[in-house]
């Protein structure tokens, strides 16, 4: 049982390049989330998916797109990376049906955009 996995762990991009961050969970959770973490700002929600086939914008969605490929996988795409997107990105999942359920987090992807 690996929990939530993310790839890659580190990435350096040049401005304008694109990339996809991958996330997978093996806990049969319905809900999945993408956050970015910046110093002094905590975690800010980028997008989330309440179930397979549905996605919704979070607090900071501009410049990102997501795909809920199936129940296990939820990817985050940067179409044209900007230096402002330099951050640590976390994927999380949660068993839905009760918002009291905790979120389980992946180890994060550290992204630098030059």
Partner 1 sequence: AQSVTQPDIHITVSEGASLELRCNYSYGATPYLFWYVQSPGQGLQLLLKYFSGDTLVQGIKGFEAEFKRSQSSFNLRKPSVHWSDAAEYFCAVGAPSYDKVIFGPGTSLSVIP
Q: Which positions lie near partner 1, rule CB under 8 A? A: 4, 31, 33, 35, 40-45, 48, 50, 58, 90, 92, 96, 99-100, 102-103, 105-108
Q: Given the complex with partner 1, which of 64 and 106 has the nearer CB atom?
A: 106
Among residues 32, 43, 47, which one has the least CA distance to residue 87? 43
Q: Given the complex with partner 1, which of 41 and 69 has the nearer CB atom?
A: 41
Whole-number minimum distance, CB 100 to partner 1, in Å? 5
* DSSP secondary structure string for all residues of 47-73: EEESSTT--EE-S--TTEEEEE-SSSB
């Amino acid at each position: 049982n690996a929990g939530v996995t993310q790839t890659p762990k580190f990435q350096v991009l040049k401005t304008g390049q694109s990339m996809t961050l991958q996330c997978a969970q093996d806990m049969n959770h319905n809900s999945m989330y993408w956050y970015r973490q910046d110093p002094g700002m905590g975690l800010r929600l980028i997008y989330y998916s309440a179930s397979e086939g549905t996605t919704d914008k979070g607090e900071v969605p501009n410049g990102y797109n997501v795909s809920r490929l199936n129940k296990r996988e939820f990817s985050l795409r940067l179409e044209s990376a900007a230096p402002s997107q330099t951050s640590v990105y976390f994927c999380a999942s949660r068993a839905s049906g009760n918002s009291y359920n905790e979120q389980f987090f992946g180890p994060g992807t550290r992204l630098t955009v030059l």
